[in-house]
Structure formats: C-alpha cells, structure tokens
Amino acid sequence: MSAAPETDEIAAILTTRLGEVATRFEQALVNDLAPVNALIRHVERYRGKMLRPTLVLTTGIAVREGMMASPTIDQQLNALAAVVEMIHMSTLVHDDVLDEADLRRGGATINSLRGNETAVMLGDFLISSSFHLCSSVGEPWLNVALGEMTTQLCAGEIMQLSHRGNLTMTDTTYFEIVRRKTGVLAGACCGLAARLAGASNEVAESLRLYGEELGIAFQIQDDVLDLVGEEQIVGKTLGIDLRKGKYTLPIVVHLTRCSPLERVKTIAVIEACDVEALITLVESTGSLTAARERARQLVAHAKGRLAVLPESGARQMLVVIADAAIERAF
C-alpha cells in the first residue's frame, strides 16, 4: 500500500503487525469442534484487503508518534484490529445470506456450500467471538463502544431492508443507511484505536469522522463496481443490489435527474434486471460520474481531518488508504 518513501517504513511495520493480527484472529476462533474449525478455515479467505485492521493499526501508530513505545498498547491495538475484522466478516457472512450470493473473494460463499442455517450461525459465532476477544483487552469502555457500534450497524441493515424496492428513496436516506452499515465500523476502527493509543477526545473524534467518511466513500465505490466492475476482478457476485431492490447511489441520483419518460424506461430496466441497459441510462444523466465525485469529495474531507495528527509516515499512510478506497477496481 506504500506509495512514497515516507510511507515505506510504516508499510513494513504494518506488514509485521497485520501478521500478528492474523495470528490473534485465528487463535481466537479455534474451537473444540471440527465442523466449526472447517468453516472458520473457509471463511478466513474473506479477510481480503484487511482495510479495517489496517485502519486500527495505522491510526494507533500515527497517534503515538513521538511517544514512548508501549508493548501493552500495541497488543491492545492488535486485539482491536482482530475484533473489528471478526465483526466485519460476520456482516459479510450474513449479507451473503440476505443477498443469496454465491461468490465471495473469488470462492463459494458459506450459504451456497452449507446452506443459510449454517451461514447464519457462523456469522453469530464470529460476532460472539469478537466480543469475547474484546473483553480480553481489559478496557470495559471498549466493549460498550463496540456494542453501540454494532447496534447501529444492524439498524442500518434493517433500514436498508425496509427500503428494498423503494424507487422514491432519497439520497438522504441512502447516506444514512450507508453511514450506519459501513461508515460506523470504519469510524470505530479509527476513533477507538485513537483512544486506546492515548489521543485526546478531540483528536479521537476527528479520526472517527475520518474513518466514517472514508467508509461511506468506500461503499459508494462498491456501488459503482456493482454496476460497472468485472466479476473476476471484484471477486464477488455482481448485480445483486439491483436484483434485490437495493438501489445504490448512481441509481438514486439518476432517478432524481431523469425525465418522466426516462424514469418509466429506467423502472422497466430495473424490473428486468438489465444491468447493461441500466448502465447506459445512468451514464446518460451523469449519475455514475456524480456518484464517483461524491466519493472523491468525502475522501478529500476525510483527509482534511488528519490535520489533528503530527506529520509522520503513518499519517501519510492514512492519506494513501483514503485515496485507495476510491481508486480500487476490487
């Protein structure tokens, strides 16, 4: 992920630390039942980009720039990084059930292999394990904060389900769904890591907002890729949002911009799940470009929040991470 000499050192540190997080993650999920361990081995491939653990570690390192080294805080940050990845993976497993998806990270989903019942229980196992690991950090406030965050996350999913098929959904509603479903977890990664690392409340809040805005921009890019990405590169089943009546930002913007006649055509294309025709319509009103621009604006705003941190390779890495969130093709 390094893009400049000043980030080379932090990139090397992150490689080592992410290896430690992966070990912590695996150890926390070891079970005395072979069927459970088999499922965990399969779902470990979902770790993918490890964005959320990277946010935790990079934020912690950036906050502690110039401070005395603390092995205790490093271990707490490693544990938090493993916790947020477990929470994220649990949402992926549950999302695949809701979406009836067959492909994730280029491999078969748990629900397609073992059925919905097993997938639901595995998702529950992951979220339960995350809170068990979190309790080992020894900071009760952290459990409370993660509990509040997961409640928001679940509420966002329920809100999205309640708006399935809603062709009159506003961008305000869209952004509230995405903030809760994706933004709050990324925000927690940065805000909670900052607090563990010893940041002031003001700095921790700025970094939480950095993460939240980055998370929303990340989701917008997912929306774009769900329409125009290549499945073999993205690594998951595409077009699910359209088939499930989950109208993403390019579609929401298009429906507010198009003429009455174009709206009739668009609804017919949506009902037919004709992705190619929909792309043509969305591009005709500049709505795909508008969605990308909104993601760029969010990232620019998020990067501005990093001014609370001292100059360092870790701070620059947070800039690189933000840019990569909207430049990726997968």
- Residue 118 domain boundaries: 6-226+296-312
pLDDT at position 3 over 70: no
CA torsion, ordered 318, 319, 321, 322, to nearest 10 deg: 120
Q: Is residue 302 part of a domain?
A: yes
Tens digit of each residue's pLDDT (9 = 90 or more) over 268-302: 999 998 888 999 999 999 999 999 999 999 999 99
pTM: 0.93
Q: Is residue 172 part of a domain?
A: yes
pLDDT grade, residue 53 (50/70/90)?
very high
Stretch 82-98: mean pLDDT: 93
Q: Is residue 13 part of a domain?
A: yes
Stretch 254-273: mean pLDDT: 94
Is the distance from CB of 131 to CB of 152 less than 8 angstroms? no
Tens digit of each residue's pLDDT (9 = 90 or more) over 100-140: 888 777 788 999 989 999 999 999 999 999 999 999 999 99
Number of domain units in the chain: 1
Residue 113's region, left for phi above 0, alpha for psi from -120 to 50, else beta, is alpha
The SS3 assignment for 214 reads: helix
pLDDT grade, residue 64 (50/70/90)?
very high
User: Residues in the chain, how many?
Assistant: 330
Tens digit of each residue's pLDDT (9 = 90 or more) over 150-174: 999 999 999 999 999 999 999 999 9
Q: Is residue 291 part of a domain?
A: no
Q: Is residue 300 part of a domain?
A: yes
Tens digit of each residue's pLDDT (9 = 90 or more) over 212-223: 999 999 999 988
Q: What does the block give as tokens for 211? A: 């993460």
Stretch 70-92: mean pLDDT: 96
pLDDT at position 203 over 80: yes
Instruction: Tell me the C-alpha distance between 161 and 31, whole Å.
Output: 33
pLDDT at 46: 77
Phi, psi angles (nearest 5°) of residue 30 = -65, 135
CATH number, domain containing residue 192 = 1.10.600.10
pLDDT at position 58 over 70: yes
Rg (CA), the chain: 20
Q: Is residue 244 part of a domain?
A: no
